[in-house]
Amino acid sequence: MQESLAERRDTPVYLGVDTHSEAHVAVALDGTGRRLGELAVPNDPAGYAHLWAWTLGFGVPVAAGVEGTGSYGSGLSRFLRAKGASVLEVNRTSRQHRRRYGKHDTGDAEAAARAVMAGTASGEPKGADGAAESLRALRVARRSAVKARTQAANQLHALLSTAPDGLREGLRGLPTKHLAGKAARFRCATGTVDPTAATRFAMRSVARRYRVLSEEISELDAHIERLVGDAAPGLVALDGVGPDTAATLLIAAGDNPERLRSEASFAHLCGAAPVQASSGKVVRHRLNPGGNRDANRALHVVVLNRMRRDPRTQGYVARRTAEGKSKKEAMRCLKRYIARETYRAILLDAVARIPPG
């Protein structure tokens, strides 16, 4: 009995977890792929603790494959990392696999554990416990506010275009900001069926909403700029990199940018690494349509800023076009270079944030 208990304590355990909003389903495998058990736990700290104790009962956890580490599995991922466990991001099973074997939570959890064992799941999830996660939350709020403000501006102009002629006088042709300022100060009569009065009231309501959203966006921008300046001063100091661009690249890299093996991995993550499209004697590359498109947009903004005012970048584009390359091809090369430069700055800033000792 003592020997069996000792062997059990030394058994390597591979954990696979299928995550959901309310509960997670886990399957444990040993080093030979034998199924040790399955468990469903609630998506809360008590459930995480129960899952960890259950896993330790089988042996030594080697690695955990978790689906959705950036959404439903984010809390469990943070808990397991805090316990010192190796957590790997696992993609959902392929459509062919689901068609052949069906779709159920236990099967997905077991597939996640087997992907970890086979080495096909090797992506380390983002830390989500520092400045990058804070910036992500702020940018979610900002994106929503910008979208709502754009809708308010469109509604304001639509109301103006159909307003009675007397109301349109003096407002036609005004920029949105000035139009909202004037409409927000309208004096409106209530309890009347006059279309002019109703339109004035509607325009005042939309204009005030536009101004409130503008103030919210300005407040979020100030918070983001302050946080980016504290977390990544080296990144912001690069030519052409502003607070919004820096925040986007920091979010893409995560709070643990060292999880990316090299600057080439970061370029692939941003969709800035060219993809081979060679065949036979033809050797060429094409645009990479994958990766984080928001990060790719941020790199594109940096390229445009440098092409506008940086002499070195302007000279590089001129040389490339003289060699027969198109302007788009030269910009793709610049994106790759800037991905390398920004990744190094992100790493240096991350090291600088580590407290001494």
Over the chain (357 residues), what is each successive 10-residue block's mean pLDDT? 55 93 94 92 95 94 90 92 90 74 84 89 81 94 97 95 87 91 87 83 95 97 96 95 95 91 92 83 77 94 95 93 88 93 95 78
Q: How many domains does the chain have?
A: 3
17 with 86, same domain?
Answer: yes
What's the pLDDT at 1?
A: 43
Q: State how far the Cα of 301 lies from the Cα of 331, in Å rounded to an integer.
A: 11
What's the pLDDT at 6?
A: 53
21 with 81, same domain?
Answer: yes
146 with 59, same domain?
Answer: no
Output the CA–CA distances (angstroms, integers) from residue 264 to 22, 273, 301, in the order listed. Answer: 37, 7, 20
Residue (of 60, 242, 248, 233) closest to 138 by Cα position:
248
What's the pLDDT at 2?
A: 47
What's the pLDDT at 7?
A: 55
Does residue 246 fall inside a structural domain? yes
What's the pLDDT at 232?
A: 94
Does residue 307 fall inside a structural domain? yes
What's the pLDDT at 194?
A: 84
210 with 291, same domain?
Answer: no
Q: State how far the Cα of 74 lies from the Cα of 40, in Å rounded to an integer.
A: 17
What's the pLDDT at 48?
A: 96
CATH number at residue 53: 3.30.420.140
What's the pLDDT at 286?
A: 74
177 with 94, same domain?
Answer: no
pTM of this structure: 0.84
Domain that includes residue 56, residue range? 2-118
16 with 47, same domain?
Answer: yes
Structure tokens at 24: 């997670």
Does residue 123 fall inside a structural domain? no
65 with 12, same domain?
Answer: yes
Q: State how far the Cα of 184 lies from the Cα of 204, in Å rounded to an integer.
A: 5
Of 231, 260, 283, the domain-final residue = 231
Of 231, 251, 281, the domain-final residue = 231
86 with 139, same domain?
Answer: no
